[in-house]
Structure 1
Amino acid sequence: MDNKPLKTPPPYPIASVDHALRAATILQLEGGATVAQLAERLGVARSTAHRILAMLVYRDFAVQGEDRVYRAGPVLELAAHSQSLVSRLRAVALPHLHRLVGLLDETTNLIVRTGDTVRFIASVECRQALRVGSREGMVFPAHRTTAGLLLLAELPDEELTELYGDSHADDIDLGRLRTELRRLRRNGFAVNRERSERGLVAIGVLVCDRDGTALAGLSVSLPSVRYDAQQLPSLVATLEAAARGVERDLADQA
């Protein structure tokens, strides 16, 4: 659909930088964390988590309150005193993501859309040696991901035109995108075969509020060598059941 390169990890990743970026993302999306909570999320020692947070505070990416909880600082411009919808979505969905991993033994994700991009707000890895790694905090073009396509399919035609009009005229065929989105809306699920990353297949469904408005996408990601198209109906049914569970829990919380 366009000629932009797929997103691939750097050949020489720097773990300390990755940890700091993930920590900043957690604070921005969720509103706050203690040293112990962040250490557990990042899989590092508490002393390491403390050093990461100290540097984020120094650079104004984080602030520490009197309750010893670290929150996003001025650079991240987060409204830190109220729990955002993204934060509530993540908290409600995580148990369902873990259950999905237990059932499917593949990595699961929760994704939200902002404009023409999507952000992975939660990702739970499976334990298989060959697996899709966590994408939590990462941002992708919406039309490159399963959840992004499903969320785009919910937009009115005029809004889709605003997103992919003149600014994307050279790299996206808007007519072809509209046709694809109509098909996905009818199907109720999407399949991504190496569209966002080489060697990866993802299947996704929508999570909606009680009025039927799409809030997020729920997906399972697996290495393409392990994908069997005959399993697609079963995978979609399992994802749909998890999505309905997230919706019920979100409604109960409200």
Structure 2
Amino acid sequence: MANSPSGDSAIDRVVRVLETFTIDRTVQTASEIGRRARLPSSTAHRLVDGLIEAGLLERDDEHRVRLGMRLWELALRGSHALRLRQAALPHMERVQARIREHTQLAVLEQDSALFLERLSHPDAGANITRIAGRLPLHASSSGLVLLAFAPEELRERVLAAPLAQVAKETVTDAAALRRLLAEVRRTGVAVAPGSIEAVSTGIAVAVRDPRGEVIAALSVVLPRDAPTEQAVTELVRAARGIRSSLSADLR
């Protein structure tokens, strides 16, 4: 791919355009995209027009731009995340029916916890997590599980960086976080009261693939003072079920 005068490649520029879309920002003008992607206006309009022609972006009747269905279609083809989600969903539904709170599936992606699925009960408590949303690895029960079992190089990089204070009780001391991660590795379970929101407790367990590698975290979000024992039991049972389902897919 040809580089621009600034040295970035065409792929770099396309990625920056696509990354301007977020969960809360789903529709933009081409000018807004250019500004957020740090591109000259002419370059942004040209890239947007090309991505629309390819179906990766779409333009509505008011000339606003959104992500295209073609992008969604390509992302799902042969997707490991889709296979994991499909294997996990029946087990998540059982957890959600029994615990009657938010049930979530997250994977490690670019140094954060990326949530692939979330099931919620109408009476469930507070929860900021959304599908395709991200949380810092140190600041949620799912993230703690993923960080605990992540490659050592990634874990040390996170521990060496400033740890954001997402909520009052988020663990931001590297030594304390290191001890917490060691306990999560020992038990396979993370319990994080008040780490994201003061009124909630996140509980997550490791989900392993047929080879025993941790590939995801399965979690529930409970009211702060709710008992945790049943949730842990249900999550552990579900995580084993997901592993069995993935094993069956390989036969």
TM exceeding 0.5: yes
Match of 1:221 in 2: 221
The TM-score with structure 1 as length reference comes to 0.65
Query: Deviations along 1:1-40, whole A, 9 cap, x unmatched?
Result: xxxxxxxxxxxxxxxx968749xxxxxxxxxxxxxxxxxx
Shift of 1:176: 2.5
Q: Conserved in 2, the CA contact under 8 Å of 1:205 and 1:218? A: yes
Greater relative contact order, per chain length (Cα 8 Å cut-off, separation 6+): 1
Match of 2:114 in 1: 119
Distance in 1 (CA, whole Å) between partners of 2:163 and 2:115 is 26
Partner SS for 1:111: strand
Matches within 5 A, 1:28-177: 55=60, 59=65, 61-62=67-68, 70-72=69-71, 79-80=74-75, 82-128=77-123, 130=125, 132=127, 135-165=130-160, 167-168=161-162, 172-177=172-177
Query: Deviations along 1:97-149, whole A, 9 cap, x unmatched?
Result: 11111111111000111233111110000132656476222211011111111
State which structure, 1 or 2, has the greater radius of gyration over its C-alpha atoms.
2
Match of 2:200 in 1: 200
Distance in 1 (CA, whole Å) between partners of 2:175 and 2:129 is 33
Partner SS for 2:156: helix
| Percent of aligned pairs with the same amino acid | 29
Distance in 1 (CA, whole Å) between partners of 2:240 and 2:92 is 12
Distance in 2 (CA, whole Å) between partners of 1:129 and 1:149 is 22
How large is the RMSD of aligned CA atoms in angstroms?
3.2
Shift of 1:155: 2.8
Distance in 1 (CA, whole Å) between partners of 2:173 and 2:59 is 46
Q: Conserved in 2, the CA contact under 8 Å of 1:107 and 1:220? A: yes
Distance 1:170 1:203, change over 3 A: closer
Opposite residue 173 of structure 1, the aligned amino acid is D
Partner SS for 1:135: coil
In the alignment, structure 1 segments of 5+ residues that lack a partner are 1-16, 23-52, 63-69
Shift of 1:84: 1.2
Q: 202-211 or 129-138: which moved more?
A: 129-138
The TM-score with structure 2 as length reference comes to 0.66
